[in-house]
Structure 1
Amino acid sequence: MTVKQNAIEIVRTLHKHGYKAFLAGGCVRDMIMGKESADYDIATNALPQNVTKLFEKTIPVGAQFGVVIVVKDNHNYEVATFRTEGSYGDGRHPDYVTFSTPEDDVKRRDFTINGLLYDIIKNEILDYVGGRSDISQGIIRTIGDPIKRFTEDKLRMIRAVRFACRFHFPIHRDTQQAIIRLAPQIHVVSAERIREELEKILTGSNPHIGIRLLDELHLLQEILPEVSQMKGVRQPENFHPEGDVFVHTLLCLSKLVPLIEQGMEKPSFTLAMGVLLHDIGKTVTFEESDRIRFNLHEKVGADMAAKICDRLKLSNVEKERIVWLVLKHLCFKDAQKMRMNKLKRLFANEGYQELAELCRIDALASSGNLSDYHFCQEMFNKLSHEEIKPKPLITGHDLIAMGLKPGPSFKTILTKIEDEQLDGSITNKETALEEVKTLISQMTTVLK
């Protein structure tokens, strides 16, 4: 069965046992908009203990709040009991819930476009909050008082931006004003939840609009002040006719596309973050003498990116890739003058394709000159994997067999041999070992 068919089957099972049950929230919104949903939620008057008895595999993730996960065909379906909620002491979870009616249940949800129910038995949409009208008009609006909705869960402020980007809908004025007023309180939300919403914005449609909206609603200065500080940082017009660093970054984000050759359906989060942060170092390295300069901004930016990744609780793998992208984002401009060993080392990095895409986007959003990008891509495609990452001709064991003691000199010698192997000047082990003898002799002479 498809994801949708399984959801309908869950609803029918609940009906069969005498309960009310409806498809709820985003899946109904998507149905009205003619879009396919990845997830289907169900709202019902069945209590959690009733739900767990009816279905073979369930997970009581939030039974105290009336929420049970029903698992069918390895897909999770959230089945929630109609409820109203008490105050939100932690800014995320209600202090208590009271099981209620479908209408009351809808009125405690976040946005009108997400406050719809679908009765599959009657083939009828239940709309108690004006959600269909707001979908038709293209508006993001909270259900009821926006201050109350955002006070319940501050993350909803960033979610408003995500939905505005996803559907290209403006945010209603009252909802906007509430976000601006409450923006400084976003810090009560965990870094992990903020990171999750940020990822959805940056890897979804219109990430440039998302960052611009976060800025206009005063959220950007709270969650990514370093990006907010890009505004007004001038750049040399001959290299960046598009405008300041913030304008350039938004233009770069607008050009993000999935890396189809890597099987991606959307841009990776690491690439998107690399694009967002690649010029972050310019905010603190700006200087103007004979002309505007940003000396070593890629190195300064890499350090800043590492701190941002830590603050957002990114994984070490994500952090390492993003920092590398920021550090290396200028290297394509020197590629045509690089020695082959350096170029091959660049190609051998697992993040190369993301770096290539970052460099392509960076060029398109400034000079428009893609000659360095095309050179690198042609060389990358021309070389085989064995040429880019060949099996080492010698190892540390060979150096030990020659009587050398392990130490710092090992890395120096092995790197030198690998460089010559990548350049093509050494092609076999015998020659490599002879070169090692020469290197040892040179190092001994220097030490004397």
Structure 2
Amino acid sequence: MTVKQNAIEIVKTLQEHGYKAFFAGGCVRDMIIGKETADYDIATNALPQDVMKLFEKTIPVGVQFGVVIVVKNSHNFEVATFRAEGSYSDGRHPDYVAFCTPEDDVKRRDFTINGLLYDPIKNEILDHVGGREDISQGIIRTIGNPVERFTEDKLRMIRAARFACRFHFPIHPDTKQAIIQLAKNIHVVSAERIREELEKILTGPNPHIGIQLLDELHLLQEVLPEVSNMKGVRQPENFHPEGDVFVHTLLCLSKLSPVSGQGMEKPSFTLAMGVLLHDIGKTVTFEELDRIRFNLHEKVGADMAARICDRIKTSNAEKERIVWLVLKHLYFKDAQKMRLNKLKRLFANEGYPELAELCRIDALASCGDLSDYHYCQEMFSKLSHEEVKPKPLITGHDLIIMGLKPGPLFKDILTKIEDEQLDGNLTTRDAAIEEVRRLISQMKTVLK
């Protein structure tokens, strides 16, 4: 039984027990647009306790707001009682909830395209907010007064940009103006919720349009001022004929796609953030003497990226990958002159496929020269995992047995032996131990 069939069975059960029940929100919108959906939300006049009695397995996730999860054949379905909501003192949660009619329920939702109901038993769409017309016209418009809708939940301002870039719909002028008016209030929303919306924009369709929209709506300067500051930062035309740093970044985002071979339907959040922030350091390292320069912008940018990740509450693993991508995004330009050990160390990093995609995108969005990218990819495909990450010929324990104490010198010797192994100059344990003895002897001579 498909997810949709399970959802229909839930609606059918509710209706057979005398309740009104419909598909609601995004699943109805996607059905009309002709897009596949995996999430089916159900709205009903059954109270939470009624729902929990009717179904064998339920999860009372938000009973105070009339919301229950019904679990059917291992799929979770949100079943919510029709409700009207009071004012939002905290800009996120309603101060009170009152159960109501289907018409009043949809009128408290965010956008008209998300305010539709569908009866899968009668195959009938209920439209109390003009949602079908706005889908037909391709418009993102709030239900009712836009200032009221955004005052209720400030995150809806970013969601407007997300839906606009996802469906390539323009935002209605009144809705757009209300967002510009209220943009500075976005800070009442938690960093976690803002990050979730940014992730959906960056990993969804048309991320470049999403970032450009956030800028037009005055939201970018509030949530990612470092990205907003890219505007007007000039670049040398021989390397970047496309324009300033902001234009280049938008062009990079427009070329963003899933990394091949990873079985993903969309780009990862870490890759998308790496693309968005790879040139962030240029905003503070710009210098024009004999020509435009951005000295050490990758290192400065990595530090800035770390602070951004902290601010928007990414996970530690996400932060580490994003910072690494920003720090290493220029590595490919020197790849053809690199010693083999340095190249192998790069290939050994789990983030290499994402770095390769970032470098490909960066080149395509500027000079168009992919020779460094192709060289790295060719070398990467030639080298086996054993060649890239070979078992160490010696360990720290071996050095201790040879009379060395852990410390900076200890680490230097291990690194040099590993470099020689990666370069193919050392292939046996005996040869590695002999090289350690030579290094120790050499160091003793220098110390004398």
Same fold (TM over 0.5): yes
Quote the residue 1:62 is aligned against. 62
Alignment map for 1:41-60 (pairs within 5 Å): 41-60=41-60
Are 1:366 and 2:366 counterparts? yes
Matched, 1:174 2:174: yes
2: CA distance, partners of 1:277 / 1:185: 24
Q: Show the counterpart of 1:25.
A: 25
CA distance in 1: counterparts of 2:61 and 2:19, whole angstroms: 21
- The corresponding residue for 1:260 is 260
Cα RMSD for the two superposed structures: 0.7
Q: Which amino acid aligns with 1:147?
A: V
SS at match of 1:287: strand
Does residue 120 (structure 1) correspond to residue 116 (structure 2)? The answer is: no
Counterpart residue type for residue 169 of structure 2: F
Match of 1:138 in 2: 138
The code of the aligned residue for 1:137 comes to Q
**1:378, 1:218 → 2: CA distance?**
44
Letter in 1 for 2:409: S
Q: 1:74: how far off?
A: 2.4
TM-superposed CA distance for 1:140, in Å, is 0.2
Q: What is the rounded CA distance, in whole Å, between the counterparts of 1:74 and 1:270 in structure 2?
A: 30
List per-residue Cα deviations over 1:119-144 (Å, max 9, x = no partner).
12321100000000000000000000
Number of equivalences: 448
Name which of structure 1's ranges 101-110 and 57-66 shifts more when overlaid on structure 2: 57-66
Q: CA deviation at 1:204?
A: 0.3
Q: Secondary structure of 1:260's partner?
A: coil
Report the Cα offset of residue 446 of structure 1: 2.6
Q: Tell me the alpha carbon deviations over residues 364-400 of structure 1, each in whole angstroms, 9 at most, x when there is no partner.
A: 0000000000000000000100000100000011111
C-alpha distance in structure 1 between counterparts of 2:397 and 2:93, whole Å: 58
**1:159 to 2:169 alignment:** no
Query: 1:445, CA displacement in angstroms?
Result: 2.3
In structure 2, distance between residues paired with 1:268 and 1:121: 38
- For 1:100-119, what aligned pairs fall within 5 Å after superposition? 100-119=100-119
> The residue matched to 1:23 in structure 2 has which SS?
strand
Q: Give yes or no for the alignment of 1:325 onto 2:286.
A: no
- Structure 1 partner of 2:406: 406
Where does 1:417-428 land on structure 2 (aligned, <5 Å)? 417-428=417-428
Q: Where do 1:271-310 residues align within 5 Å?
A: 271-310=271-310
- Tell me whether 291-300 or 64-73 shows the greater mean CA deviation: 64-73
Which amino acid in 2 is paired with 1:155?
L
Contact 2:8–2:121 (8 Å) recurs in 1: no
The CA deviation at 1:221 is 0.1
Aligned-partner Cα distance in 2 for 1:443–1:264:
50
TM-fit CA distance, 1:407: 2.4
Structure 1 contact 329–358 (Cα < 8 Å) conserved: yes
Query: How much does 1:236 deviate?
Result: 0.3
Task: Give the alignment of 1:199-278 within 5 angstroms.
Answer: 199-278=199-278
Distance 1:259 1:73 in 2: 32
What TM-score comes out, normalization by structure 2 length? 0.99
Whole-angstrom CA distance in 2 between matches of 1:287 and 1:91: 43
Name the residue aligned to 1:196: 196
Report the Cα offset of residue 193 of structure 1. 0.3
Distance, in Å, in 2 between the alignment partners of 1:383 and 1:333 is: 20
1:139-173 C-alpha deviation (Å, 9 max, x unpaired): 00000000000000000000000000110000000
Amino acid aligned to 2:189? V
Is this contact kept in 2: 1:259–1:265, CA < 8 A? Answer: no
Structure 2 distance, partners of 1:155, 1:5, is 32
Shift of 1:260: 2.9
CA deviation map 1:21-50 (0-9, x unaligned): 000000011111111111000000000001
Q: Alpha-carbon deviations, 1:235-283, whole Å to 9, x = none?
A: 0000000000000000000000111311111000000000000000000
Aligned equivalent of 1:316: 316
CA distances 1:305-336 after superposition (whole Å, capped 9, x unpaired): 00000000000100000000000000100000
Answer with 396-405 or 90-99: which moved more. Answer: 396-405
Counterpart amino acid of 1:174?
D
Following the alignment from structure 1 to structure 2, what is the Cα–Cα distance between the partners of residues 12 and 31? 19
Q: Secondary structure at the match of 2:261?
A: helix
Equivalent in the alignment of 1:84:
84
Q: Distance in 1 between matches of 2:70 and 2:79?
A: 7
Aligned equivalents of 2:260 and 2:286: distance in 1? 36
CA distance in 1 between counterparts of 2:443 and 2:151 reads 67
User: Structure 1 residue 447: deviation in Å?
Assistant: 2.6
Query: Offset of 1:17 from its aligned partner?
Result: 1.1
Q: Matches of 2:398 and 2:97 in 1, distance apart?
A: 69
**Alignment partner of 2:133: what SS?**
helix
- Worse-superposed segment, 330-339 or 257-266: 257-266
SS in 1 for 2:140: coil
Name the SS of the counterpart of 1:413 in structure 2: helix
What percent of counterpart residues are identical? 86
Q: Matched residues in 2 for 1:441 and 1:411: separation?
A: 16
* Partner-residue secondary structure (3-state), 1:79: strand
- State the SS of the aligned residue for 1:31: helix
Structure 1 counterpart of 2:31, one-letter code: M
